[in-house]
Structure 1
Amino acid sequence: MASALDDDTQRALGEATATGRAMLRSAQKDLQKVFIIFLLGFLGTFYALRLYIWDFLRTVTESRMRAEVGESFEIIAQTPFDVILLQAKIGLVVGLIVALPAFLYFARDALKRRGVWRQLPAARWKVATVGGFAATLFIGGAAYGYAVFFPVMFSFLAEFGFEAGFAPRYSIVLWTQFIVLLTLSFGLAAQMPLAITGLSYAEIVPYETFRDKWRHAVVGIFVFGAVFSPPDPFTQIMWAIPLVILYGLSLYLAKVIVTTKRGSDQIDIRATLRARWNVLAGLATVGAILPYAFYTYGGSNAVNAVFSYPLIDSRYRVLPPGAGLGVDPQTAMAVYGGIVAVLLAVGGFAALIYAGLEVDPDGEFGDPTAIDLTTLDAGGIEAAPPEAFIELSEDEAMRYASEAIDEGDEAKAQAILDRFDETAEARQAAQDDGEGSGDADGGDGADEATGEPGLGDRASRAGDSFLSELTDGEQDADDIGGYYTDIAFVAGSLRSKSFRLVATFMIALVVTFTWFYIGGLGAVRGNFLRRLPSELVSETSLEIITLHPVEALLFIVKFSVLAGGVAVVPMVAYYAWPALRELGAVRGRQSVVFLWVGSLTAGLLGGLALGYLYIAPAIISYLVADARAYDMLLTYRINDFFWLIFFTTVGIGLLADVPILMLLLNRAGIPYRAMRTRWREVTVGMLTVGALLTPADIVTMFLVTVPLMAAYGVGLLVLFLVTGGGRRNLAPPAEIVS
């Protein structure tokens, strides 16, 4: 195994192992203390979950559910060890996190000897401030989740399944994992102000990039929400809107910090107070009056009416003045007025500071040569990148220095001259390079003249190199290089039609999702159950449950994506037909695709009707009767129940399409003998498709693949009869198989 690793990797692994051993030796005498800290974290978390946290999480989950939904809601354990193992796992993780700082502290001597324990890059109080700010943001994000997002989300998800006829029976493991994932995602998303400010301050990503690319950020927030929140539009909006607001606040904070770094003369708090004190006083006055006007002119009644609206149905109400503080109304109005006045004044002052930070909206942000040296102080001049001085002429440098002297800032003038002298060699080299490339046509032409390849060229060349290694530099039609070239040629022919393909896919996906979302899921369930024998199946004898909060929505999303893919397949075949014909893979005109689509659709619909009316009810009735014979409680997961319906209805249609497709392929130029001799490749392909499109279960994979291979055998038998054993194919063999 060691020979498979290069020297650098082996050296790195050796150093890591040695460091770990040194840490253990250094902390050996204190390992009991570390273990005690771990044990306290483990046991504290274990019993906190048992005594308080489970009840708290259930209260949050049920807080906004309707009474009938709350009565049907249950948290269940699927195995006898679910609860205790879950508590142990969570306690183990928390214990390790709590014990890790202590272990590192006791092992600091070994880390110092190996040069791993570094000094803090800033004062400890600054690091503590940043850490406290990060912790506050994380707690704030998690608090928003538990106070606002979780109650609304769980109410919506449970009621959605309940209205469709599914009982909310959440597995305690899946339910807890879902809550922990969303809690972490909210806490990490709340770190946005710290991340944006840090990246802007370190100039890793310029502030102007965050400002100018805000549209991309909004799209990214919604994409992030689509991944880490339930896939329904309502909860995604509840996720995204606070993050968009937080992004705006992050831009404000980053602008203040970055401008302070670039030139502190742009921020003058005292001057702003002196110049705009009247505005701040006006805001404070308005803030003091607002609570009085709110209560006097019916604001509290209007808000309570909105809270009691059936669509919202919130139990929260605006209390009369003083009721929540335990004081008389006059004192309460004074307190409320003072708080609102301070908030408005502070917000207005922050807005005035922000407005005073002048940033050129047309500047080339991210380009060091675009820095305005007149806005920087002496420290900013010393910290500015050298590119800002390489482009300066001697006259410009002297002019900037003279202006600084006129303003009484001799340190800034000296810093400008020093930086100008430091960059003399780089300036001369830049001038020499400019003279050498002076005959270039321009930016693009210069890039072409230098022969610098773009990203697409490098990727293409890397792909060609990879394929040439597989094919020894020669690409035959039957090797992987030939297949890759043919696939790339067909894909290139579809590029101009990509908008239509994507639009068709999205329309089919949205229409399918909307139909299921507004009641189609419950309609399918009710219609199918009515086709089962009433003596075996009823509303009480067969219960369909949701073990995961978003299980119903995820099934709708998966089925909608599948419907979108099926809708696009005929268009792909139609647009790719000319390219396939040019490669010799098919014969006939492009209009042949309509015959294919019609034939396959007829087979699919016929098989679907047969499965829905007879096969699926018979199979499910047998399964129910077998379980009822032993007095078992029947509860089917929505995911398993509907995929069982899918495979016994649509699956029958797909089986019927296999012989039809083989006839169409023979008519397109694929001979009978090629299909018969390539049955092994077909089997491997079907096994691969079954592994990808079925649950992670080898039995299910074979249950899907074996009927498909049986249908393939039926297709071979039909082709044998139609073609006379391959002597009379429906069309001459295509070039690709001839």
Structure 2
Amino acid sequence: MSSALDDDTQAALSAGRETAGAMLRAAQKDLQKVFIVFLIGFLGSFYALRLYVWDFFKGITYAQMNASVGSNVEIIAQTPFDVILLQAKIGMVVGILMALPPFIYYARDALKARGAWPRSPVALWKLVLILIGVVVLFVLGVAYGYFVFFPFTFAFLAQNALSAGFTPTYSIVKWAQFIFLLTLSFGLASQLPLAMTGLSYAEIVPYELFRDKWRHAAVGIFAFGALFTPPDPFTQIMWAVPVLTLYGFSLYLAKVVVTAKRGSEKMDIPATAKYHWNLIAGVGVVGGLLVYTFYEYGGVALANAGLDYVGSDYLLLEPTSQLSVVLFALAGVLAGGVLGLGYFIYRDIERLERTQVGVGDPTKLDLGSLDADGIRAAPPEAFAEVDEDRAMALASMAIDDGDNDKAQAILDRFDEAEADREAEAEDQPGELEERTTRAGGAFFSELTDGETDEDDIGGYYTDIAFIVESVTSRAFWVVGWFMLVLGGTFTWLYIGGIRDVYEDFLGSLPAVIRPEEVLNVVALHPMEALIFEVKFSTIIAALATLPLVAYFAWPALRDRSIVRQRRRTVFLWTGALTAGLLGGFALGYNYVAPGVITFLVEDAIAAEMIIAYRITNFFWLIFFTTAGIGLLADVPVLMVLLNSAGITYDMMRNRWREVTVLILALSAIFTPASITTMFMVTIPLMAAYGAGLGILFVVTLGGRRNLAPARGAAE
């Protein structure tokens, strides 16, 4: 049997195995030293967690919680081995990370033999400086997370869980994973200055790309924050603002080093400092005076009052002596001097870039730094490789800066360059373009040419592309309605709707259960309540958006003869499906769900146990036994409606495998991460699908008479 991997992949894997083996052989005599380093990291982390770290983590967890919230928050171990196994896992990770540098160092001979070791020696002081920078930035990022972000985030999450009627009972494993994940994210985010400066200096990623794509970077930072922080604006801003500030500072550093590299003979930082020494010293003195005034004239008391107003337990300490005030003031002088020097360096960089117009390679000209006259005077080669996206980005930046004349000049020069490129292309048509066109035409002709029956891939491709295009042309309305329903549902749940439903449901349970005494719903993960609210809101929004999608897609479906009725049928469908959903929901909420919960807990109550259900398990159980009954009832209804629209009984019966795969995929996305729950959803839905096939078999007389009107019949 042939291998599933191609030759290049197999060669890469073989080379990797060979390199790893060579490294082990080269470091064999020093593996004892590597193991000692690993053991130090492992045992040190293990006992540090046991003696100090857990108490520190608990301290930051409770730091911003008031007494009523903090008294309800507990951190528990679900199994007897949770704590010791967690400490061992963390210790092993720390030990491996500590052992990697000495292992690579002792295996350097094997790496040198394979060309994977730097050939030119790097100055030791540069390596030390880089290492110090990495460590300092990482520590600063982690310190911000521990002393600012985490206290406010945990207080918000605990308050939200309690407001929803849940008990914040965090599993030590999930709680620690949450802390370590965000700790790592802050530590990595703090490396932006080094990463961006190094990539720009090495010209792996041009500085201009970082500068021009800052809007994309801002969106990416907020998106990352939305994934890994609670979905409320306050904590997302607390995450995004420091990272955006770091991005701006990193752009400044990257510009300094890149300009220094490109024009080192014209840029002299010591000369800049010497020339502006008086102004730099003046800025430093102002910084020192501001710090001195803050400490001497009530700034500490005012800051503490502000912290107390926002509910923080942190306090700024008063200086213990006059010497402390003097030292703080000197630090302010130094910080002010650094900022002043940075400003003048940046100003000299701007001037240097303007003086470099027309010097050297014109294709490397920084168009963003030129004014309108400079754009018009730039050589044609400067616009030879500028595409439309780049030109529009430059013009947008100029408009944002209020320089409309520069924006117009950029667009005019781009139009001229584009006209030149088109004229050149007409004189010398590209052979590559012709080959690409022929290949693309052949590919799509294979998909779309020929007969378009239901078993032909071309017919399917054409129909699907036509239908999707008809919906995407109205994407603004579809996405807008989806986001409106999602936001409205989430807001209702967030401000107490989930608590109202929870209390009403508990009130419908039999009195023997005494839910206020024995039935508790707990959050094992700090974000569990919010994640459930987001998932539930997404399901509601998707269900509410389906009729709108059907309404916009209906003309295309009718044009392709997939359905035969007019678009007003969508309203009939929506009414029928809504009636089935609400009827099944009422049945489940009043009878099925209470009966299932009672059956599940009565043995535990008889044994006088205290029941603590996890949020995801309890509420998905309620959802499946309430709204799920409605969805099951809608399956046969939908199948009858689809048959009346033109989808035959035979097609539904023959496509049951595709339907099963689709249901499995949706179950994997919208249910908890468990194979059991996935099949608990899939099996009832497939049973309902089978019931629908049975109903259609009777209604259509075994598929001989479908409900759809004949082609050309009056409707």
- CA offset at residue 547 of structure 1? 0.6
The amino acid that maps onto 2:513 is L
Partner residue, 2:362: 369
Partner residue, 1:342: 334
CA pair 688-308 structure 1, distance change in 2 beyond 3 A? closer
SS at match of 1:165: coil
Contact 1:542 1:635 in 2 (8 A): yes
Partner residue, 1:78: 78
What CA distance in whole angstroms lies between the structure 1 residues aligned with 2:417 and 2:196? Answer: 42
What CA distance in whole angstroms lies between the structure 1 residues aligned with 2:87 and 2:711? Answer: 64
Contact 2:295 2:325 in 1 (8 A): no
SS at match of 1:632: coil
The amino acid that maps onto 1:537 is R
- CA offset at residue 729 of structure 1? 3.7
CA pair 673-276 structure 1, distance change in 2 beyond 3 A? closer
Q: Where do residues 595-614 of structure 1 align in structure 2 (5 Å cutoff)?
A: 595-614=572-591
- CA offset at residue 636 of structure 1? 0.7
1:110 aligns with 2:110: yes
What is the RMSD computed on CA atoms of the aligned residues? 3.5
Decide which structure has the larger Cα Rg and report it. Answer: 1
The amino acid that maps onto 1:338 is L
CA pair 390-670 structure 1, distance change in 2 beyond 3 A? closer
CA pair 212-523 structure 1, distance change in 2 beyond 3 A? same
SS at match of 2:473: helix
* Gap runs ≥5 in structure 2: 367-377, 383-415
SS at match of 1:356: helix
What CA distance in whole angstroms lies between the structure 1 residues aligned with 2:711 and 2:52? Answer: 72
Partner residue, 2:314: 316
Partner residue, 1:264: 264
What CA distance in whole angstroms lies between the structure 2 residues aligned with 1:646 and 1:127? Answer: 57
Which of 526, 544, 552 is the aligned partner of 1:575?
A: 552
The amino acid that maps onto 2:548 is M
CA offsets 1:248-285 (integer angstroms, 9 cap, x no match) = 11111111111111113553445544554443343344
Give the TM-score of the pair, scaled to structure 2. 0.84
Worse-matched range after superposition: 707-716 or 223-232 = 707-716
1:147 aligns with 2:120: no
What CA distance in whole angstroms lies between the structure 1 residues aligned with 2:141 and 2:547? Answer: 46
What CA distance in whole angstroms lies between the structure 2 residues aligned with 1:128 and 1:641? Answer: 54
Partner residue, 2:609: 632
Partner residue, 2:476: 499
CA offsets 1:57-99 (integer angstroms, 9 cap, x no match) = 1222122222222222222222222222222222222222222
Worse-matched range after superposition: 42-51 or 496-505 = 42-51
CA pair 29-277 structure 1, distance change in 2 beyond 3 A? closer
1:616 aligns with 2:558: no
Partner residue, 2:486: 509
1:450 aligns with 2:430: yes
What CA distance in whole angstroms lies between the structure 2 residues aligned with 1:562 and 1:463? Answer: 38
Contact 1:222 1:240 in 2 (8 A): yes
Partner residue, 2:202: 202
Partner residue, 1:525: 502
What CA distance in whole angstroms lies between the structure 1 residues aligned with 2:598 and 2:424? Answer: 74
Contact 1:26 1:109 in 2 (8 A): yes
Q: Where do residues 138-217 of structure 1 align in structure 2 (5 Å cutoff)?
A: 138-217=138-217
SS at match of 1:532: coil
SS at match of 2:709: coil
CA pair 651-291 structure 1, distance change in 2 beyond 3 A? same
Contact 1:256 1:354 in 2 (8 A): yes
What CA distance in whole angstroms lies between the structure 2 residues aligned with 1:238 and 1:457? Answer: 50
Partner residue, 2:300: 300
What CA distance in whole angstroms lies between the structure 1 residues aligned with 2:118 and 2:329? Answer: 50
Partner residue, 2:533: 556
What CA distance in whole angstroms lies between the structure 1 residues aligned with 2:13 and 2:597? Answer: 56
Worse-matched range after superposition: 22-31 or 714-723 = 714-723
Q: Determine what percentage of the aligned residue pairs are the same residue.
A: 57
- CA offset at residue 548 of structure 1? 0.7
Contact 1:287 1:341 in 2 (8 A): yes
- CA offset at residue 38 of structure 1? 2.0
Contact 2:363 2:381 in 1 (8 A): no
What CA distance in whole angstroms lies between the structure 2 residues aligned with 1:459 and 1:130? Answer: 50
CA offsets 1:199-255 (integer angstroms, 9 cap, x no match) = 221223322332232222211111121223233322111100001111111111111
- CA offset at residue 27 of structure 1? 2.6
Worse-matched range after superposition: 506-515 or 697-706 = 697-706
Worse-matched range after superposition: 292-301 or 234-243 = 292-301
Partner residue, 2:62: 62
SS at match of 2:509: coil
SS at match of 1:117: coil
Partner residue, 2:385: none
Worse-matched range after superposition: 660-669 or 672-681 = 672-681
What CA distance in whole angstroms lies between the structure 2 residues aligned with 1:694 and 1:459? Answer: 43
- CA offset at residue 493 of structure 1? 1.3
- CA offset at residue 302 of structure 1? 2.7
Give the TM-score of the pair, scaled to structure 1. 0.82
Which of 329, 340, 345 is the aligned partner of 1:353?
A: 345
SS at match of 1:561: helix
Partner residue, 1:405: none
- CA offset at residue 638 of structure 1? 0.8
SS at match of 2:707: coil
CA pair 62-110 structure 1, distance change in 2 beyond 3 A? same
CA offsets 1:687-737 (integer angstroms, 9 cap, x no match) = 4544454344444334323332343344345445555555654323679xx
- CA offset at residue 639 of structure 1? 1.1
Contact 2:34 2:99 in 1 (8 A): yes
Contact 2:449 2:458 in 1 (8 A): no
CA offsets 1:645-687 (integer angstroms, 9 cap, x no match) = 1111111111121222122122212344554565565455444
What CA distance in whole angstroms lies between the structure 2 residues aligned with 1:319 and 1:125? Answer: 37
CA pair 603-355 structure 1, distance change in 2 beyond 3 A? same
CA pair 164-361 structure 1, distance change in 2 beyond 3 A? farther
Partner residue, 1:22: 22
SS at match of 2:250: helix
- CA offset at residue 635 of structure 1? 0.6
Worse-matched range after superposition: 581-590 or 334-343 = 334-343
Partner residue, 2:398: none
Partner residue, 2:517: 540
Q: How many residue pairs align between the two structures?
A: 664
The amino acid that maps onto 2:574 is V
What CA distance in whole angstroms lies between the structure 2 residues aligned with 1:41 and 1:439? Answer: 60
What CA distance in whole angstroms lies between the structure 2 residues aligned with 1:440 and 1:371? Answer: 18
Contact 1:532 1:621 in 2 (8 A): yes
SS at match of 1:169: strand
Partner residue, 2:402: none
CA offsets 1:427-479 (integer angstroms, 9 cap, x no match) = xxxxxxxxxxx99954356568426559x9899779749x76xx999865314
